[in-house]
Amino acid sequence: MKAIEMIDVTKRFPDASAPAVNSVSLSIDEGEFITILGTSGCGKTTLLKMVNRLYEPTEGTIMLFGEDISTVDKVVVRRRIGYVIQQVGLFPHMTIADNVATVPKLLKWEKPVIERRVDELLEVVGLDPREYRGRYPSQLSGGQQQRVGLARALAVDPKIMLLDEPFGAIDAITRTSLQDELLRLHKDLRKTFLFVTHDINEAFKLGDRVIVMDGGRVRQFDTPRNIALNPADGFTASLIASAREQERFWEELE
């Protein structure tokens, strides 16, 4: 089953000289972990935001599980999709439990069901519910807040998760452990993940397949191995070369 299909999708913002996303066609199978890699301004976030209808394509069609999303109510589309962003966006005056329960409450789930779900989700993201339920976001580290953001996005068990640079503002060590946990989570939950990053190491570590974007276009969409062995063009080759450059830097220090 195709989880996500894009057919000739273009997004033009008013007054912009070039489209932010330019004639993108791609298809993603259910359960894949897809990363979107590219430099600043290449259209990664715009592409992601069209999947949950935060932005509307200027041209083209997006299908989720075979359904054209332009025919589905925006709120319904959004509730079916988990969304995690770098700024987390937790409500500061609400406890962690209430933050995680935001959508289940909107959907008027029974209170005991919500309580159980909150505990289960906090466990899933590695936070002890007894310790963290009653805290406020300001009493958590950045990495812990990001875990809560993840738990909140998972609350109604969405089939698709969109993650926009979720670990962008997190230190290297915490980031590595969050990446490992996200891989474990993906393996356990078998949801379709679409994860935006500008970090090639992160993109290649996490992605079953990687979408390489430049100037609003998809330059290559393949497994990390195939991209590394056969970069499709000069841009992709230069991304790999820059990562290799880092490698050499470390080798020289040893």
Ligand X SMILES: Nc1ncnc2c1ncn2[C@@H]1O[C@H](COP(=O)(O)OP(=O)(O)OP(=O)(O)O)[C@@H](O)[C@H]1O
Binding site for ligand X (CB under 6 A): 13, 16, 20, 38, 40-46, 198
d(CA 58, CA 122): 39
Shortest reach from residue 195's CB to ligand X, in Å: 12
State the nearest-atom distance from the C-beta of 47 to ligand X, in Å: 7
Largest Cα–Cα distance of the chain, in whole Å? 60
Q: Considering the complex, state which of residue 32 and residue 214 has its C-beta at the smaller distance from ligand X.
A: 214
- Give whichever of 44 and 175 is closer to ligand X, judged by the CB atom: 44
Residue with smaller CB distance to ligand X, 8 or 67 = 8
* Paired tokens of 187: 């393996």
Phi, psi of 15, rounded to the nearest 5 degrees: 70, -5
Smallest separation (angstroms) from ligand X to the CB of 250: 25
Question: In the bound complex, what is the minimum distance in angstroms from residue 200's beta carbon to ligand X?
Answer: 13
Q: Which residues pair with 196 in a beta bridge?
A: 36, 164
Please identify, using beta-carbon distances, which residue of 12 and 205 lies nearer to ligand X: 12
Q: For ligand X, which is the closer residue by CB, 198 or 217?
A: 198
Q: Degrees (nearest 5) of the Cα angle 217, 228, 49?
A: 35
Residue 169 CB-density burial (10 A; 0-12 exposed, 13-18 middle, 19+ buried):
middle
Min CB(196)–ligand X separation in Å:
6
Kindly list the distances between the CA atom of residue 216 and the CA atoms of 10, 42, 50, 183, 212, in Å, as whole numbers in the listed order.
9, 5, 13, 27, 10
Question: Going along 67-224, which residue ranges are E strands?
Answer: 67-68, 81-85, 160-164, 192-197, 209-214, 217-222
Distance in Å, CB of 43 to ligand X, minimum: 4
Q: How many CB atoms lie within 10 A of CB 59?
A: 14
43 vs 224, beta carbon nearer ligand X: 43
